[in-house]
Structure 1
Amino acid sequence: MSHLNLIGHKKRKRGLRVFRFKSFGEPGYPIEFVGPFRENVKALLEFGHLESNSYCEMPSWSFQLELHRHPPFHILLLIIEEPVEASLDRHCKHCQYIGWGHHMICNKKYHFLLPSKDTVTAFLNCEGNSDNGAGTANGKSNLMELQGHIMHGVFHSNGFGHLLCVNGVEMGSDLAGHQIMEFWDRLCTGLRARKVSLNDISQKRGMELRLLHGIAYGEPWFRRWGYKFGRGTFCVTQPMYQKAIEAIQGLPLGLLGYHFGTSNRDIPIIFSRYQTLSDHSLVTLGDLFHFMFELKSRLPKDNCINTYNQGILVETTCRWSPKRVEMATRVIVEALKRAEFRWVSRQEVRDAARVYIGDTGLLDFVLKSLGNHIVGNYLVHRSLNPVTKVLEYCLEDISNVLPNQEGLVMTNPKVKARYKINRVQLMKDMFYLYKYILKDQKLALSTGIFSAIPVATRIIHDSKYLIKEYCGEFPLKVELGLEGMLNLYCTISLRSNEDADEESSRKAMPPYECVTLKNNATIDELKLEVERNFKEMYWGLRSFVVESVLNLNAKGTDLVFGHVEVGHKLVFKGSIKEQGVIIGEQIHECGLTNHVVDCPCGAKDDDGERMVSCDICEVWQHTQCVRIPNNEEIPHIFLCNRCEHDIVLLPSLP
């Protein structure tokens, strides 16, 4: 793969530069990035190999990245420059979904691809078909449309971008997910991207990482690289997301154990298994998942650790002998056996044991140390009653592991094996909890405090659009440049927006750009430089003409340096001279807005979820909100509740 010219389908020439994957994008490697995003991308492409291409107008550059030297192994980074004229759709749906629909359409996009072996094969097959006269219209664009790349990110030339996919080891990649993310983050930081969005659909063994990491850490997996809640679908907001996380994190394990004790005995056993391993009490579901993730990171890949605990381990400094501790333990277990496997308060157990053990200090020591330990054929559970806030104890008979076997099971290796843990077992346990607590809700868990689980999981599931702000609105530290150059922040306001309210006008303005001038430049020269910069960047401003400066009172022949300080922000008002351009529809990412979204969930615009249009009023609504399951096709005729109600109220014909 590293020796293929994907475009020319020939072997590469020797002598091409190879870059270190782990350092690519760091300051000074391969270049020190000092300008705005669009200039930094051009500087980076100078180090790439320009691919030859005879059937597609999109230029592309490739970089060989060395993963390790012994044995030699390389992967390919491919950067494709997509002009707006060559795009299948000039409007960006990813901008619309994340809430950037008010952004102007840029003249160029830059696709950063780490192709996988499968996508390379699919692309070369497509190329072979194009040689026979088929598929020449698609050609290179198919590589960007193919699914299954190791990584695919796209930047608009104004520095806003989208991470479209990350496929790690679980999807057959030679790179782990965290390695890909570190590489992507270095690129975004080095190139001075403004903001980057992603759609978090990451999974691990069929489980949504967004949900698991939310419960364990209170934030998504991508938070390790600074990505935060950006926008929720179905009108989910950031406070709703935070409350949903807290609701599931705070579920008491004791209460869950009570409810599952009769219908699903495996879940209390899993709780006890990890409580035995932990050196501190696991009180909530958040505590449990956090401990499981931390334990997984410490477990060796092949070996396992023993969670079996033979009763109470007596320290050498303990004032009671092991024999007295063992005797007190057996007395307490016998008292619990007489309770017929029901939960018993700590005081009740202590009072029953005092008949045989007069040393209350010894009893308190054993009761404190006994929770979630195996004694004989029994596992001793200890939990805080969520209602009375009192410690309670209960026995679980585990002799069914060895039917027809009598005596102490703690000496049998088969029982010991049951309480050993490795990565495979841990992931099985995590999947079991994920399935039966978080996903497959039964009627027994749909009432009381448990009714919050399906609501909270749905909210977390719908909080999948994340954003990281790299450089923000002002990506550069503006100062007086070398050789007397003057740097200013400038943006433009179209004349058609002057009647709009201030907030709408502000949103319609593109981000500020750094404009560089000589310190003896005039106001007229500044206007021309602003025109050139914004024409070069935005497709809808090809005929833009600056007419005035909103926050500057100066003549055209006046020197800029005498009226404006270094780093000052200026807004230039102007108009588009090209005929037929409809501002707000053709030049912005949101595109045509002739359809109306008015969903029962509160959504007023397209968020990327499946929608259906009413055949009478033509208003769009989420299929999920109107109770059309995702696994069913949209009906040929659909009426919203409002139109359906109006039809019912119509007078009947005589």
Structure 2
Amino acid sequence: MTTQISHINFDNCNFKSKSVIQKPLLDSFKENIEDFVEDCDVVQEGCVWKWEFVHKEGCIKRTVPLFILKEVVDDSRHKSGEDPFCIYCSYSGCNNNVVSRSKYHFVIPADYESLEQQLDDPFDKDDHVFKDRTHLLHGLLHINGIGHLICINGIDGGSAFIPGRDIMHLWDLLCLYFRARKITVRDEACKTFRHISLIDGVRETCEGAMVTRLLFSVAFGSTWFGRWGYTFLRGSYGVSRDTYTTAIESLGSHPLTEVEEIVEKYKKKSLTPLECMKDLLSFMLQMRCGTRGQKKMDLNKDLWTVYDKVLMRRKNHVQTILNCKVFCKEIPLRQMSAECLTVTFVVRDADDNELPGMVGCECTTLPVNDVADLKGRVTRLIQGTYHALSNFTITEMEGEGTDELKENMWVKGDGADMDCNYVAEGGRGWLVTCICGAEDDDGEDMVECDTCKKWKHIECLINDGFKLEDNAGFICLECSTPRH
């Protein structure tokens, strides 16, 4: 059942829009974002806009600008030496998706003044806005609604005053508001801590870093992003969802005999029993959120002890979890109002074959009593979204000629150019065959065999006894073994 909803608002978020949102956005992501930026403050005509928010923390309010940057994927970018394809699609399993004609970047910079100077030419290769990993928020949405959360940096990551959870909540609402379809994130965050103690009258500082997705997976069964609905998408080195789940359950149920002193300390403060690793870690992480000063340092020290002395010694299960970095959230289509109907449609060729690389159903929204321009609207949407379909012409549409709109339908047509330069978002067309079982690019370092042109994980080769030298050729075991 679809949910009736008029619009997404920011009432329950610590960010508030300084400008009044005049109307709900009801259409596809492409139609929504193009309609929305018309009312935004223009920074660079046709490609950069600014949307100002106020962030409130307690009684303190600060203005925070969100920049929306449109990146057009075309031959001019390709000829200038820039890669027109999407590296984030490559490692998230979307590398075979048909290339979108443009994408929108949503950026909250750490240094507003520095970014505004770069916005005169945001695509300058020597000073690229999109390569900066210090942004408080950088999210990317392709014009077809498929997107990637590239980075979030809260207080632990360099923000002066905005917690990461507030930034994440804003990003989640933006995705809902503009009607994104699927968002991926590569979680490689570490939580750093510092503990200062007196040893023989001398102040000693201890610093460490704990992998956040390991802590949260064991404590809560999902990563930090799980509270916003992000779930396992794919593992590196051939790790499956079942293997990932088994590792989490095994570590979570591990007994606490090695840290009994720490358990005694915290079970006095807990309202529920602390019987296994999952219980202890979840309690300590929840307690950490409301702790400040020396108490937080002491808690960090205890957390590090559990992490280093217990978790990290279960190497196999730990490595399985560490090899799972890519998570995703799929946002179901919603019927936005009683007056309009969201129509989803599958694109097929004239021979009734679904086109390869299409990401499921496309969608648009029309008044329930207006079917006259449906064919034209769907045609414009398809042509404006994908490079390979820029000359696509609809020859047949389900329900064509009737006065009734259906929620799900198909369209057939001619003109798809599946041989153009912009068919697959991954672009590279790697053939991966590794001993770990991986058959696709997962974002880990690989090397190509000079003979068979198949790619292998460098780490897997080293673990298997191969010695790889810089600037030297590589021939895999299958190609170097004599055949009789």
- TM category (shorter chain) comes to 0.7 to 0.9
Match for residue 432 of structure 1?
305
**Following the alignment from structure 1 to structure 2, what is the Cα–Cα distance between the partners of residues 507 and 513?**
16
**SS of 1:626 mapped into structure 2:** helix
User: One-letter code of the match for 2:155?
Assistant: V
1:147 corresponds to which residue?
A: 133
Tell me by how many angstroms 1:28 deviates: 7.2
Residue of structure 1 in register with 2:6 after alignment: none
How many Å apart are 1:457 and its aligned residue? 0.9
> What pairs up with 1:343-358 in 2 under 5 angstroms?
none
Tell me: CA distance 1:282–1:510, structure 2 relative to 1, closer, same or farther (3 Å).
Answer: closer
Report the CA distance shift for 1:247/1:121 in structure 2 as closer, same or farther (over 3 A): same
Counterpart in 1 of 2:105? 111
| Residue of structure 2 in register with 1:587 after alignment | 423
What is the deviation of 1:111? Answer: 0.6
Question: Contact 2:103/2:143 (CA < 8 Å) preserved in 1?
Answer: yes
Q: How much has 1:166 moved relative to structure 2? A: 0.2
The one of 121, 129, 138 equivalent to 2:114 is 121
1:458 corresponds to which residue? Answer: 319
**Shift, 1:479, TM fit:** 6.2
Does 1:493 pair with 2:348? yes
| CA contact 1:492–1:509 (8 Å) conserved in 2 | no
User: Please, which of 60, 78, 81 is the counterpart of residue 48 of structure 2?
Assistant: 60
User: 2:402 pairs with 530, 554, 560, which one?
Assistant: 560
Is the alpha carbon distance of 1:577 and 1:154 closer, same or farther for their aligned partners in structure 2, counting shifts above 3 Å?
A: closer
Partner-residue secondary structure (3-state), 1:573: strand
- Looking at structure 2, the residues matched to 508 and 615 of structure 1 have their Cα atoms a distance apart, in angstroms, of 32
Structure 2: distance between partners of 1:591 and 1:92: 8
Distance in 1 of aligned mates of 2:65 and 2:12 = 11
Q: Distance in 1 between matches of 2:310 and 2:416?
A: 61
Please give the per-residue CA displacement for 1:68-89, whole angstroms capped at 9, x wherever unaligned: 4976632211001111126533
Matches of 1:521 and 1:282, distance apart in 2: 61
Q: 1:30 to 1:641 in 2, by over 3 A?
A: farther
Counting only pairs closer than 5 Å after superposition, residues 543-558 of structure 1 correspond to structure 2 as: 543-549=391-397
SS of the residue 1:560 aligns to: coil
C-alpha separation in 1, matches of 2:18 and 2:249: 37
Tell me the TM-score normalised to structure 1 length: 0.62
Q: Offset of 1:526 from its aligned partner?
A: 4.7
C-alpha contact 2:18 2:52 (8 A) present in aligned 1: no
Q: Cα distance 1:603–1:477, how it changes in 2: closer, same or farther (>3 A)? A: same
Partner of 2:414: 575
> Which SS does the other structure have where 2:411 is aligned?
strand
Aligned runs of 1:95-494 on 2, under 5 Å?
95-117=89-111, 120-121=113-114, 124=117, 137-138=124-125, 142-173=128-159, 174-205=161-192, 206-254=209-257, 257=258, 267-278=259-270, 281-299=273-291, 301-302=292-293, 422-439=295-312, 441=313, 453-470=314-331, 472=332, 474-477=333-336, 481=340, 488-494=343-349
Q: 1:616 — aligned with what?
A: 451
Contact 1:478 1:566 in 2 (8 A): no
Compute the displacement of 1:298 (Å).
4.8
Distance change (3 Å), C-alpha of 1:489 and 1:634: same
**After alignment, is 29-38 or 95-104 more displaced?**
29-38
Q: Tell me, what secondary structure is at the counterpart of 2:125? A: coil
Where 1:625 maps in the other structure, the secondary structure is: helix
Q: Residue 610 of structure 1 aligns to which amino acid in structure 2?
A: D
Letter in 2 for 1:513: C
CA 1:570–1:634 in structure 2 vs 1: closer, same or farther (change >3 Å)? Answer: farther
Q: What is the CA-CA distance between 1:47 and the residue it aligns to? A: 3.4
Deviations 1:330-358 (A, max 9, x none): xxxxxxxxxxxxxxxxxxxxxxxxxxxxx
Q: Distance in 2 between matches of 1:511 and 1:493?
A: 11
- Counterpart in 2 of 1:625? 460
Contact kept? 1:612, 1:634, Cα under 8 Å: no
Q: Residue type of the partner of 1:637? A: G
Matched, 1:83 2:105: no
Q: Which amino acid in structure 2 is aligned with residue 512 of structure 1?
A: E
Deviation at 1:226, TM superposition (A): 1.2
Instruction: Give, in angstroms, the shift of residue 29 of structure 1.
Output: 3.8
Q: 1:602: Cα distance to partner?
A: 1.0
Q: CA deviation at 1:621?
A: 0.7
Change in 2 beyond 3 A, CA 1:269/1:32: same
Decide whether aligned partners of structure 1 residues 592 and 560 sit closer, same or farther in structure 2, where only a CA change above 3 A counts. Answer: farther
Are 2:371 and 1:535 aligned? Answer: no
Distance 2:281 2:293 in 1: 22
Q: 1:32 to 1:167 in 2, by over 3 A?
A: same
Secondary structure at 2:317 match in 1: helix
Query: For residues 623 and 497 of structure 1, do their structure 2 counterparts lie closer, same or farther at Cα, with a shift above 3 Å needed?
Result: farther
What is the CA-CA distance between 1:108 and the residue it aligns to?
A: 1.7
> 1:478, 1:487 within 8 Å by CA — same for their partners in 2?
no
1: CA distance, partners of 2:338 / 2:356: 25
2:436 paired residue among 560, 579, 601: 601
AA at the equivalent of 2:411: F
* CA shift in 2, pair 1:61/1:82, >3 Å: same
Q: How many angstroms does 1:207 deviate by?
A: 0.9
User: Displacement, 1:252?
Assistant: 1.3
- Residues 91 and 441 in structure 2, CA contact (< 8 A), matched pair in contact too: yes
**Mapped partners of 2:239, 2:405: distance in 1:** 42
- Do the aligned residues in 2 keep the contact of 1:490 with 1:569 (CA within 8 Å)? yes
* Higher-Rg member (1/2): 1
Counterpart residue identity of residue 247, structure 1: S
| Corresponding residue number in structure 1 for 2:206 | none
Give the structure, 1 or 2, with the largest relative contact order (CA under 8 Å, sep 6 or more): 2
The 3 A distance-change label for structure 1 pair 537 and 26 is farther
Contact 2:47 2:70 in 1 (8 A): yes
Q: Is the 8 A contact 2:13 2:169 kept in 1?
A: no
Q: Does structure 2 retain, via aligned residues, the 8 Å contact 1:162–1:196?
A: yes
Q: Any unmatched runs of 5+ in structure 1?
A: 1-18, 258-266, 304-421, 442-452, 499-503
Distance in 1 between residues matched to 2:132 and 2:296, nearest whole Å? 33
Native 8 Å contact 2:90 2:426 kept in 1: yes
**Using the alignment, how far apart are the partners of 1:606 and 1:617 within structure 2?**
17
**Matched position secondary structure for 2:395:** strand
Query: What secondary structure does 2:89 align onto?
Result: helix
Distance 1:211 1:43, change over 3 A: same
2:364 aligned residue: 514
Give the residue type in structure 1 aligned to 2:324.
S
Which stretch of the first structure deviates more once superposed, 182-191 or 36-45? 36-45
3-state SS of the aligned residue for 2:145?
coil
- Secondary structure of the residue that 2:236 maps to in structure 1? coil
Where is the helix percentage greater, Structure 1 or Structure 2?
1
Give the drift of 1:572: 1.8
Q: Secondary structure at the match of 2:409?
A: strand
**One-letter code aligned to 2:344:** Y
Shift in alpha-carbon separation, 1:496–1:621, aligned structure 2, 3 A: farther
1:643 match: 479
Shift of residue 519 of structure 1?
5.3
Number of residue pairs aligned between Structure 1 and Structure 2: 449
- 1:592-643 deviation per Cα after TM superposition (whole angstroms, max 9, x unaligned): 52x42101111111111110112222211111111269xx975623232223
Report the equivalent of 2:40: 48
Report the Cα offset of residue 521 of structure 1: 5.5
Shift of 1:429: 1.3
Q: Can you give the 5+ residue segments of structure 2 that lack an aligned partner in the other structure?
A: 1-10, 193-208
Greater strand fraction, Structure 1 or Structure 2: 2
Query: CA-to-partner distance for each residue in 1:115-166, whole Å, 9 max, x for gaps?
Result: 112x753773x689x8xxxx99537x71122221000001111211111000
Following the alignment from structure 1 to structure 2, what is the Cα–Cα distance between the partners of residues 71 and 281? 38
2-side partners of 1:159 and 1:531: how far apart? 17
